[in-house]
Amino acid sequence: MKDYLQQTQNPLHLFQEMGLSRRGEEVFAECLGDLTLEAILERHPLSKLEVQQMLAALLIVGMVTPRTTPGRLDDEARARRKAERPIDSELRKQILEDYKKIMTADYFSALEIDHKSDSASVRRAYYKLAKQYHPDRFLGRGLSNDMEHKVNEIFGHITQAYTVLSDPTTRSEYRDELENGPGTKVDVNQVIEAETAFQQGRALLKVRQYKDAATRLKASIELSPEEPEYLTSYAWAVFKSSPENPGYQNQALEILVASRELNPGLEMTHLYLGYVYQALHKERQAEKSFEMAVQANPDCTEALRELRLINLRREQPEPSRGLFKKFLNKD
């Protein structure tokens, strides 16, 4: 990496056919003996691997040779280095102005588009700016390391802007964040862990292992305490663990009411509330809960069955007490 690279003086190697690309020709032209391998790679921060492979190929075929000390530039080489300087000072000034404007802008402003732009508009804006600020455009312009770094930052920022705004979903989320402020950051691992515990709890509920189900479902709500479906399933597991226990009944009732507040449209919450109210001998609240379950889902067979049973009990006549009264009157 510390060796200086120079074009070979051997004409047999110098003029052999390699079919160099434009980038390859530019890299080869930089090997004048005054730059180390490391210095040449630093001129191409976004394509170091590609340039390194080109230099390796040039060294292998002998078109470029390493040397431990810098070579002395001839008149032609000095003229070439001089030509690498910016044509005028306006280039540096323009880079600094654009750097300040783009790097402090949101993604829409960086691409010079409005918030209502669609994916096609995003793509057109990006291609226009990418063509203007692709690092390869500044090869051989004699930019300082600082200026090259700024060009790379500009290109990276507009590329990131394109990545976010070209997708309708991420564009909508980003626009919402700009207009309404950043939302709460979601811990993906925690979401997955909570969902895993919930699914395990549901599986245990199906095989009527209620206490084990309650343990796993409790873990899910500890990780995601405002997920109504998790709360509802946990409450049902608690209730079914000991349906006659008043403490479990009231605990389940409290959790189900909280779940209902979070999502009034969840049919299972209303259904389970109906069963818990029945266990607490609160028939009117139970009936109302079963009705709400049917409103949430007209095909909720369990709630429909309970409502039919309630109506049947209501329609049955009170047992006749006439005979009993006759026995009393005999005395």
Q: Which of 6-10, 168-172, 302-306 has the lowest mean pLDDT?
A: 6-10
Q: Write down the H helix ranges in the chain.
A: 11-14, 22-30, 37-42, 48-61, 75-83, 90-103, 107-110, 119-133, 145-165, 168-180, 188-206, 210-223, 228-241, 246-262, 267-279, 283-296, 301-315, 322-330
Residue 331 lies in a domain: no
pTM above 0.85, yes or no: no
What total of structural domains would you count in the chain?
3
Q: How many CB atoms lie within 10 A of CB 232?
A: 28
Residue 11 is predicted with a pLDDT of 59
Q: What is the DSSP letter of 319?
A: P
Query: For residues 248 and 242, what is the distance between their CA atoms, to the nearest angstrom?
Result: 7
Q: Does residue 276 contact residue 242 with C-beta atoms inside 8 Å?
A: no
> Domain check: are 216 and 298 in the same one?
yes
Residue 18 is predicted with a pLDDT of 58
202-226 pLDDT tens trace: 999 999 999 999 999 999 999 888 8
Q: What percent of the chain has pLDDT over 90?
A: 37
Q: Does residue 114 contact residue 108 with C-beta atoms inside 8 Å?
A: yes
Query: For residues 211 and 234, what is the distance between their CA atoms, to the nearest angstrom?
Result: 10
Where among 56, 83, 110 does a domain terminate?
83
Helix (H, G, I), strand (E, B) or coil at 166: coil
Residue 88 is predicted with a pLDDT of 47
Range of 76's domain?
Answer: 4-83
Check which CATH number belongs to the domain holding 123 and give it: 1.10.287.110
Encoded tokens for 254:
């409290």
> Domain check: are 218 and 299 in the same one?
yes
29-50 pLDDT tens trace: 888 888 888 888 877 766 778 8
List, in sequence order, every residue forming a beta bridge with 66; answer none if it has no partner. 5
Given pLDDT bands bounded at 50, 70 and 90, which one contains residue 329? low
Residue 281 lies in a domain: yes
